[in-house]
Amino acid sequence: MKNCRIVCAHKYIPERKIDNDEMSRMVDTSDEWIVSRTGIKERHISTGENTSYMAGEVLKGLIEKSGISPLDIDLLIVATISPDYLTPSTACLVQHIAGAKNAFAFDVNAACSGFVYALSTAEKFISSGKYKTAAVIGADILSKMIDFTDRSTCVLFGDGAGGVLLQACEENHYLSEDMNSCGDKAMALYGGHMPVDTVFSKEQPNMGKYIKMNGREIFDFTLKEVPESIKRALSKAGLDLKDIDYIVPHQANARIVNYMAKKLSIDVSRFFINIDQYGNTTAASIPIALSDMLEEGKVEIGSGKKLALVGFGGGLTWGTVIIKI
Ligand code: 4VN
């Protein structure tokens, strides 16, 4: 049993909702501008719960939905760029919260591609035959790294967490992947700089804790590279775009999804989009989307529907995973 499948999905969204009108009272922007440029209507922001808490709620939900024991989990990966601490990892904190005592736990840092990177990693452990049950969670609180006086970033992001439980099985459900990084463009999207500032160091530039992005550069890069990644993943799986029931993109910007659909010559309705409710939740956006798709009955576990999960963002990183759900 070296194949794996998604058993269930779960999400955690902070209570506090901030709509575009509330944002417009904080910075010089408007509901009309935000909706037309990004598709975002509202986002949820943590009022104090940290990343490990949100991811812990997701893991407890996955355990409850699947009916497994926390002791059955032998691998736990949390994708995040906004951990509670640099050490311990958020995954180790989550392991403790959910009592997953037998798990081997670590974090993956790949920004908005974090969930697909972590899913790819978990699949390799399961396909080794040495691990049977893995939890893969994406959780981010970008609000703690956002400058709420910078209207070019603060309207875009929201907080949240989502995840899936993977189990080894006979049939192949992980059809293909196409994973990429481009460190040349690392500074197109950055935050949380930790310069060496000690009694031993010479003065270093401090790039600050806030998220800064060159929107135009990331937008153009995404549009150039991501459709090609989807095509490569399809070709590796021996599939055509028409065989895919839904494309589940990282929810960065609804307008970029429209352009992607045009580039792929398919209708935008083939993409699942829920950015209107949550904004860009970084590593959490794809598992939150999966959780909502299952809740809304758009797809069902065991239905055999094919999904292309597509992450892209900081690093720069991007990747496509094709699964049969
Ligand atoms: C991928 C992308 C973005 C992103 C880039 C630009 C952008 C989102 C700039 C132009 C602005 C509207 C907003 Cl493509 C972010 C990530 C990170 O998750 C990944 N929005 N915008 C406008 O229209 O003026």
User: Please, what are the averages of pLDDT over each run of 10 residues along the chain (325 residues)?
Assistant: 95 98 98 98 98 99 98 98 98 98 98 98 98 98 98 98 98 98 98 97 95 97 98 98 98 98 97 98 98 98 98 98 98
Candidates 34, 159, 256: which one to mutate for ligand 1, based on the most atoms within 8 Å of Cβ? Answer: 256
Atom number of ligand 1 nearest to Cα 189: 17
pLDDT (0 to 100) of residue 1: 79
Q: Whose CA is nearest to atom 14 of ligand 1?
A: 219
Sheet of 75-79, strand order: 3-12, 160-169, 133-140, 75-79, 104-108
Dist. CA 299–CA 293, nearest whole Å:
6
Q: Catalogue all structural domains in the chain, each as residue range(s) with its CATH number.
A: 3-171 (3.40.47.10), 175-324 (3.40.47.10)
Using CA atoms, how far apart are residues 268 and 272, in angstroms rounded to an integer? 9
d(CA 249, CA 236): 19
Tally the C-alpha atoms within 13 A of residue 2's C-alpha that lie toward its C-beta. Answer: 6
Model-level pTM greater than 0.85? yes
Give me the residues paired with residue 246 across strands: 307
Find out whether the beta carbon of 118 lies less than 6 Å from any atom of ligand 1. Answer: no
Residues recognised as catalytic: 112, 250, 280
